[in-house]
Amino acid sequence: MASEAAPGSIGGAGTALPRHVAIIMDGNGRWAKKRFLPRFAGHKAGVEAVRAVTRAARAIGIEAMTLYAFSSENWRRPEEEVSDLMGLLRIFIRSDIDELVQENVRLRVIGDYRRFAPDLVKLVDDAIARTAANSGPILVIALNYGAQAEIAAAARSLAAKVVAGEMAVEAIDDAAIERELDTHDLPPLDLLIRTSGEVRLSNFLLWQAAYAELLFVDTLWPDFDAAALHQAVTTFAQRQRRYGGL
Ligand code: IPE
Ligand code: IPE
Ligand code: MG
């Protein structure tokens, strides 16, 4: 089971580096409000933070970073905001894909992004394909992602295998469920960060967070930068993970 794996370590004792960091990028709206700007300005500034933080993650040597960009619940926002977020995603992919290809990044998506507009689905698929042969750090974007739906899909897939006679009921264990999740080929989640002071997971990586270290910071996402990521990684290194043992 992934959560039993030891965290990555570089440079000897006391410098444990998280292999997989996930971030709930929250607070764009409040960042804009504080400046008497429209929410869109906050999302735009949030994209700049994505750029800075993904570059910093590569410099640190983090193997995988998963960013919560659009939850399955975010459809509840006004239509205009949803379309602004989709527009920014288009701009981000178009402007940053060359850098990701050059930097040997493997781009991945978790979540049901095929519900997005066909042109956006194609843009995402093409971007993933362009980085598929890379061998470096993995950048995962969670798009129309919901952890409960991910787990339900895993349950459906296992049930179908049992019905088809390909699998015994007794073979359904933690590892079998994990193999069906969108994250099945990623390193185990070591550190989950949420910005903006909210202390909840909002349906993000519920299964994967079982033994992740959780870090809630007050910084609003557009203000989260390379220094903030370094601070988070330092905090992680100081945590003692016990996995139920002593
Ligand atoms: C996070 O910022 C961005 C997305 C959810 C896409 P918010 O838009 O949730 O910002 P707040 O929480 O309203 O400040
Ligand atoms: C979580 O933030 C989703 C993303 C960051 C994409 P929300 O702002 O949507 O979460 P809630 O609604 O405050 O729980
Ligand atoms: Mg929010």
Q: Which of 30, 31, 66, 71 to mutate to test the pocket of ligand 2 (most atoms within 8 A of CB)?
A: 71
Cα separation, 172 vs 174, whole angstroms: 7
Is 189 within the bounds of a domain? yes
Q: pTM of the full predicted structure?
A: 0.94
Q: Is there a domain that residue 98 lies in? A: yes
Domain with residue 126: its CATH number is 3.40.1180.10
Distance (Å) from CA 219 to ligand 1 centroid = 13
Rounded-to-5 percentages of helix, strand, coil across the chain? 50, 15, 35
Read off the tokens for 215.
Answer: 């870090």
* C-beta atoms surrounding 108 within 10 Å: 19
Buried b / exposed e across 31-44, counting CB within 10 Å, b at 16+? Answer: bbeeeeeebbbbbb
Q: How is residue 23 written in tokens?
A: 């971030």
Number of separate domains in the chain: 1
What is the edge-to-edge ordering of all strands in the sheet holding 213-216? 106-110, 138-145, 64-71, 20-24, 191-194, 213-216
The ligand minimizing its distance to the Cα of 194 is 2
Q: Is residue 229 part of a domain?
A: no
In a domain, 152, yes or no: yes
Query: Could you give the CA distance from residue 129 to residue 177 in angstroms, rounded to a whole number?
Result: 26
Kindly give the confidence (pLDDT) of every residue in the chain, 246 residues in length, as a single tens digit, with 9 standing for 90 and above.
444 444 444 444 445 999 999 999 999 999 999 999 999 999 999 999 999 999 999 999 999 999 999 999 999 999 999 999 999 999 999 999 999 999 999 999 999 999 999 999 999 999 999 999 999 999 999 999 999 999 999 999 999 999 999 999 999 999 999 999 999 999 999 999 999 999 999 999 999 999 999 999 999 999 999 999 999 999 999 999 999 999
| Domain-located, residue 92 | yes
